[in-house]
Amino acid sequence: MPNMEIAVMPSTPVAIIACAIHCCDNKVYTVTEHPPLSPCTSLGKKKDTCVRRNVKKALAKNKIKNVKVEPKETVTVMTKKGPKVFNCKPDFMVDNRIIDAKFPCDEGKLRPKLAPPGKPGLVQDRAVGAAKKTPKEKLAYPKMKGPDGKKVKSVRVMGPKEAAKKKGDCQCS
């Protein structure tokens, strides 16, 4: 079974992230249901971990320094109901831009692929549809500060569909 590491690595940070999203979406995973999490949530967490691991390796290999993996910051956003505090931890910050990996999933199509309850099953389920921003990406992440102390310039969610346009010369092993 292939491990879906990045074999040929693009040289720009955005392309490296996109390539990792592409490779990790195509990987075969062992998934066991863990109620109350949905199978899509479990699979998405595994894919997210795969992306971060591959990006860290690629950044080290290419000696790229302008990318932070999972930067943390607490921000307060004014809402109609008053101030709301968000603990932000996006997947990546490239200079002053945030990229958050997303893996849209259709639970109805994923569930029949799973092994019976209590038994781990091998699953390959490619993400479906475009990635969508959550309230955290819409409201809180734009309030974060980049490495220069200024607000981030952009917040992008990137799923496999979006990554296909940005991955460059990418090959998975």
pLDDT band with cut points at 50, 70 and 90 for residue 1: very low
- Flag whether 50 is in a domain: yes
- Residue found by looking up tokens 């200024």 in the block: 150
Residue 141, pLDDT score = 97
Query: Does any domain span residue 58?
Result: yes
Range of the domain at 10: 6-172
Domains in the chain, number: 1
Percent of all residues in the chain with a pLDDT value above 90, rounded to a whole number: 56
Report the length, in residues, of the chain: 173
**Residue 1, in any domain of the structure:** no
Q: Which of 93, 95, 90 is nearest to 137 (CA)?
A: 90
Q: Which residues pair with 68 in a beta bridge?
A: 93
Q: For residue range 83-113, what is the model confidence (pLDDT) as tens digits? A: 999 999 999 999 999 999 999 998 888 878 8
Asked whether residue 42 is assigned to any structural domain, the reply reads yes
Please check whether residue 107 lies inside any domain of the structure: yes
Residue 8 has what pLDDT?
Answer: 56
For the cut 70, the answer to whether the pLDDT of residue 2 exceeds it is no
Contacts of 64-72 spanning 24+ positions with Cβ under 8 A: 64/13, 64/16, 66/13, 66/94, 66/95, 66/147, 67/13, 67/92, 67/93, 67/94, 68/92, 68/93, 68/147, 71/144
